[in-house]
Amino acid sequence: MTPRTLGPFQVSPIGLGCMPMSMNNDKVYPDEADAVATIHAALDAGVTLLDTADVYAPTWDTFGHNELLVAKALKAYGPLPDGLVVATKGGITRGPGETWGRDGSMAYLRSAVEASLRRLDVEVIDLYQWHRPDRSLDYGEVVGNFKTLADEGKVRCVGISNANLDEIRIAQDVLGPGGLVSVQNEFSPSHRQSEDELRYCVSQQIAFLPWSPLGGTGGGARDVGSRFGVFAEIAAGHGVSPQQVVLAWELSLSEHVIPIPGARRASSIVDSAAAADLVLSADELARCSAAG
Ligand X SMILES: NC(=O)c1ccc[n+]([C@@H]2O[C@H](COP(=O)([O-])OP(=O)(O)OC[C@H]3O[C@@H](n4cnc5c(N)ncnc54)[C@H](OP(=O)(O)O)[C@@H]3O)[C@@H](O)[C@H]2O)c1
Q: Is 56 an annotated catalytic residue? A: yes
Annotate 2-24 with DSSP letters as a single string: --EEETTEEE-SS-EE-GGGT--
CB 13 → ligand X: shortest distance, Å?
14
User: Using CB under 6 A, which residues numbered 42 to 61 contact ligand X?
Assistant: 51
Q: Does 11 bind ligand X (CB under 6 A)?
A: no
CB 234 → ligand X: shortest distance, Å?
14
If we measure between CA atoms, which residue out of 65, 122, 150 comes closest to residue 130? 150
CB 20 → ligand X: shortest distance, Å?
4
Q: Find the binder of ligand X among 12, 215, 235, 258 (CB under 6 A).
A: 215
Q: Does 211 bind ligand X (CB under 6 A)?
A: yes
Report the residue number, 161 or 194, with the smaller CB distance to ligand X: 161
103 Cα distance to chain centroid: 20
Report the residue number, 174 or 269, with the smaller CB distance to ligand X: 269
Please state, in angstroms and rounded to a whole number, the distance separating the CA atoms of residues 88 and 247: 22
- The interface mask with ligand X, positions 99-138, x = CB under 6 A, is --------------------------------x-------
Q: Does 241 bind ligand X (CB under 6 A)?
A: yes
**Which distant-in-sequence residues (6+ apart) come within 8 Å of 247 by Cβ?**
14, 213, 214, 259, 261, 272, 275, 278
Q: Which of 56, 128, 139, 200 is catalytic?
A: 56
Burial degree of 132 (CB within 10 A; 0-12, 13-18, 19+): middle
195 Cα distance to chain centroid: 17
Report the residue number, 172 or 217, with the smaller CB distance to ligand X: 217
Q: Find the binder of ligand X among 4, 213, 248, 278 (CB under 6 A).
A: 213
Q: Find the binder of ligand X among 130, 216, 253, 278 (CB under 6 A).
A: 216
Long-range CB pairs of 70-79, under 8 A, 24+ apart, other chains included:
70/18, 70/39, 70/120, 71/119, 71/120, 71/121, 72/32, 72/36, 73/35, 73/36, 73/39, 73/40, 74/39, 75/121, 76/36, 76/40, 77/39, 77/40, 77/43
Region of 1-9, 41-49, 173-181, 240-248 interacting with ligand X (CB under 6 A): 240-248
**Which distant-in-sequence residues (6+ apart) come within 8 Å of 208 by Cβ?**
182, 183, 184, 185, 187, 197, 198, 201, 202, 254, 256, 257, 258
- The interface mask with ligand X, positions 133-172, x = CB under 6 A, is ----------------------------xx----------
* Neighbour count for residue 286 (Cβ, 10 Å): 12
CA angle at 167 for the pair 23 and 196, rounded to the nearest 5°: 85
Region of 1-9, 73-81, 198-206, 264-272 interacting with ligand X (CB under 6 A): 264-272
Count of residues near ligand X by CB under 6 A: 31
Region of 13-21, 152-160, 169-177, 250-258 interacting with ligand X (CB under 6 A): 13-21
CB 232 → ligand X: shortest distance, Å?
12
Q: Using CB under 6 A, list all residues that contact ligand X.
A: 17-20, 24, 51, 131, 161-162, 184, 211-217, 221-222, 241, 243-244, 260-265, 268, 271-272
Catalytic center residues: 56
